[in-house]
């Protein structure tokens, strides 16, 4: 490494100053600032919460005494231990549990008295704040929102997020003559320019990926389309199971989460395992589709493509729905049951909620107190900007999906690596205003779907208990969006043969877990008990990916192997991945 001169440092300081001025100009020109989480909350409700907090502090100070005494004791001990280390005396310091925290993996956080003190002071203070907030008595929505805001505050104030209290950043700045700060400011400026009104931190090298080139490359063609969807038929092997699979991805994101790079493609794997695969690719709606409602998604996203598949000679399909695609599939099953149709032979639900009693951490932002703000903002433009929803989900895992990239990109001046899942995660999709508000009000907030005949679709009162086809339901232990126990509660609403599978990891990594990977194990059982914890005790553990267990279950429900359709003679609108996904 070449030696850094004083002139180099001065030159970098000058460059940083120029970038700083341009950043300020860009921010000043941006009139449409994104809402803070607190802006989503009803003003009267926020005032009510603040009033209750002060009342409880003054009326019941004893509730907080023990917490404050514990905090003072921990601070005194921290100071005593730090002084003992500084003077070379023996310290009573216990094993540092925060060592496993990725934010503090640099050795200096453990080895340096200065940085160890900063880190432990932060950990002690964060614990004190959480315990204090946990003492307040509020209604469920208020409590969740307060805890969410508190968590965001604590994460933001981590010493790892500041240049002068992060040892890795300080070391990099000294070694590079502050060129990392210059590069970080350049990265920040580029993100501001690319993001428009809503700052989005780059999490992957977007230049590396191109849909149809190294993502969504499984051979297929669009054989049907309407203004909401394109139906993709994938090129089959010579022999396929007699019953094809019909997949409903979430329309909150692009479908190619299921067809990432070849080694991570669930679609490619299904084709290789002799399944004829049909998949719905949702359009990215603009204000022209503002009046599309949930019934349109049922009719145009399920009924019309299934009618087209039947015209190809397939009498039945095995359907699979991911996330909100699974919610739509459950509604479709009830709809078809009311019409005495058995076109859907079996159903697979991937991290799907149909019982929204416990919607997870996103419930802090979507509830009765926030719905008014959301409805007004979405109705103004006719759709929900997908980036707002994507950023909201990122805030649920802020340390992993926000602050780690803030440090990497802006403080260390590095560029994020190419990662297919994070590219997909940043490729957000808009949602039509009417559909989105209906979904939030009737399912997330009022939780009507779980109650028989409380929701009506296309003239049919939906009753999930009438679903009697074999079902395979997947949940993920670390899923912050569809909590595994909430998914399990939904499974209990179905009739028919039910298999519940619980994998490790989260909402995406738990699902996209290739069959050859041994990274995550899974548990599975068809004995659906009332208590999910009892199910957990009784379920059998399987090593490796859940894809292998699903393959066995799906094959058993897909009929014998037959000669595939004459794929090359099918009328093609355009090759896969199609234009809607782009």
Q: Model confidence over 12-47: pLDDT tens digits?
A: 989 989 988 988 888 777 644 444 444 555 566 677
**Rounded to an integer, what distance in angstroms lies between the CA atom of residue 51 and that of residue 45?**
10
Show the tokens assigned to 261. Answer: 């790079």
Out of 224-228, 263-267, 515-519, pick the least confident. 515-519
Domain ranges of the chain: 32-177, 220-385+428-575
Task: Quote the distance between the C-alpha of residue 529 and its chain's center.
Answer: 28
- Quote the longest CA-to-CA distance of the chain: 83
Whether 93 contacts 85, CB under 8 Å: yes
Q: What is the DSSP letter of 434?
A: H
**Rounded to an integer, what distance in angstroms lies between the CA atom of residue 370 and that of residue 363?**
10
Catalytic residue among 233, 323, 454, 501: 323
Active site residue 454: no
DSSP string, 314-359: ---EEEEEETHHHHHHHHHHHHHHHTT---EEEEEEES--S--SS-
pLDDT averaged over every residue in the chain? 91
Is 129 a residue whose pLDDT tops 70?
A: yes
Question: How do residues 413-448 score in pLDDT, each as one tens digit?
Answer: 999 999 999 999 989 899 999 999 999 999 999 999
SS3 state of residue 528: coil
**Rounded to an integer, what distance in angstroms lies between the CA atom of residue 260 and that of residue 420?**
6
Q: What is the DSSP letter of 90?
A: -
Residue from 332, 227, 319, 324 nearest 277 by CA: 319
pLDDT value of position 430? 94
pLDDT value of position 7? 85
pTM of the model: 0.90
Give percent above pLDDT 70 in the chain. 95
- CB-based contacts of 171, cutoff 8 Å, min separation 6: 108
Whether 282 contacts 580, CB under 8 Å: yes
Q: What is the DSSP letter of 428?
A: B
Show the tokens assigned to 186. Answer: 């350049």
- CB-based contacts of 423, cutoff 8 Å, min separation 6: 204, 206, 208, 209, 215
What topology is assigned to 220-385+428-575 in CATH? Answer: Rossmann fold (3.40.50)
Q: Dihedrals φ, ψ of 126, to 5°?
A: -65, -40
């Amino acid at each position: 490494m070449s030696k850094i001169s004083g002139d180099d440092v001065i030159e970098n300081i000058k460059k940083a100053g120029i970038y700083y001025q341009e950043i300020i100009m860009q921010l000043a020109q941006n009139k449409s600032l994104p809402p803070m989480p607190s802006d989503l909350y009803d003003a009267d409700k926020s005032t009510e919460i603040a009033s209750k907090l002060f009342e409880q502090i003054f009326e019941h100070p004893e509730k907080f005494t023990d917490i404050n005494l514990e905090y003072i004791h921990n601070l005194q001990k921290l100071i005593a231990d730090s002084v003992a280390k500084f003077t070379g005396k023996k310290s009573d310091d216990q094993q540092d549990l925060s060592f496993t925290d990725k934010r503090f993996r640099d050795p200096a956080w453990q080895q340096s008295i200065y940085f160890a003190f900063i880190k432990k002071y932060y950990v002690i203070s964060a614990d004190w704040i959480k315990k204090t907030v946990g003492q307040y008595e509020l209604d469920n929505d208020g409590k969740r929102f307060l805890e969410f805001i508190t968590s965001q505050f604590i994460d933001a104030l981590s010493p790892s997020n500041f240049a002068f209290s992060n040892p890795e950043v300080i070391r990099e700045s000294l070694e590079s003559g502050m060129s990392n700060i210059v590069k970080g400011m350049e990265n920040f400026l580029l993100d501001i320019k690319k993001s428009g009104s809503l700052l989005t931190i780059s999490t992957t090298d977007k230049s590396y990926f191109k849909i149809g080139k190294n993502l969504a490359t499984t051979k297929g063609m669009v054989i049907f389309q309407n203004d909401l969807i394109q139906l993709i038929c994938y090129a089959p092997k010579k022999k396929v199971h007699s019953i094809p699979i019909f997949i409903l991805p979430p329309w909150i994101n692009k479908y190619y989460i299921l067809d990432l790079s070849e080694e991570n493609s669930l679609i490619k794997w299904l084709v290789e395992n002799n399944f004829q695969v049909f998949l719905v690719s949702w359009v990215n709606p603009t204000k022209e589709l503002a009046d599309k409602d949930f019934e349109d998604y049922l009719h145009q996203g399920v009924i019309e493509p299934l009618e087209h598949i039947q015209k190809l000679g397939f009498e039945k399909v095995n359907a699979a729905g991911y996330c909100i695609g699974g919610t739509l599939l459950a509604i479709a099953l009830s709809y078809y049951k009311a019409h005495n149709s058995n076109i859907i032979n079996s159903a697979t639900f991937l991290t799907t909620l149909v019982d929204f009693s416990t919607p997870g951490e996103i419930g802090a932002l979507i509830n009765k107190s926030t719905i008014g703000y959301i409805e007004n903002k979405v109705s103004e433009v006719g759709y929900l900007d997908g980036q707002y929803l994507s950023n909201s989900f990122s805030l649920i895992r802020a340390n992993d999906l926000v602050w780690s990239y803030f440090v990497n990109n802006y403080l260390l001046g590095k560029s994020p690596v190419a990662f297919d899942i994070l590219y997909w995660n940043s490729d957000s999709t808009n949602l039509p205003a009417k559909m989105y508000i209906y979904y939030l009000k009737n399912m997330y907030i009022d939780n009507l779907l779980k109650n028989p005949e409380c929701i009506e679709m296309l003239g049919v009162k939906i009753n999930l208990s009438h679903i009697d086809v074999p079902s395979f339901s997947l949940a993920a232990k670390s899923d912050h969006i569809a909590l595994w126990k909430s998914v399990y509660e939904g499974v209990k609403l179905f009739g028919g043969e039910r298999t519940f599978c619980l994998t490790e990891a989260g909402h995406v990594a738990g699902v996209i877990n290739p069959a050859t990977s041994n990274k995550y194990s899974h548990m599975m059982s068809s004995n659906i008990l009332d208590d999910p914890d009892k199910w957990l005790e009784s379920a059998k553990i399987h090593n490796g990916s859940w894809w292998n267990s699903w393959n066995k279950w799906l094959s058993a429900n897909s009929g014998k192997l037959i000669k595939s359709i004459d794929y090359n003679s099918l009328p093609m609108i355009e090759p896969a991945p199609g234009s809607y996904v782009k």
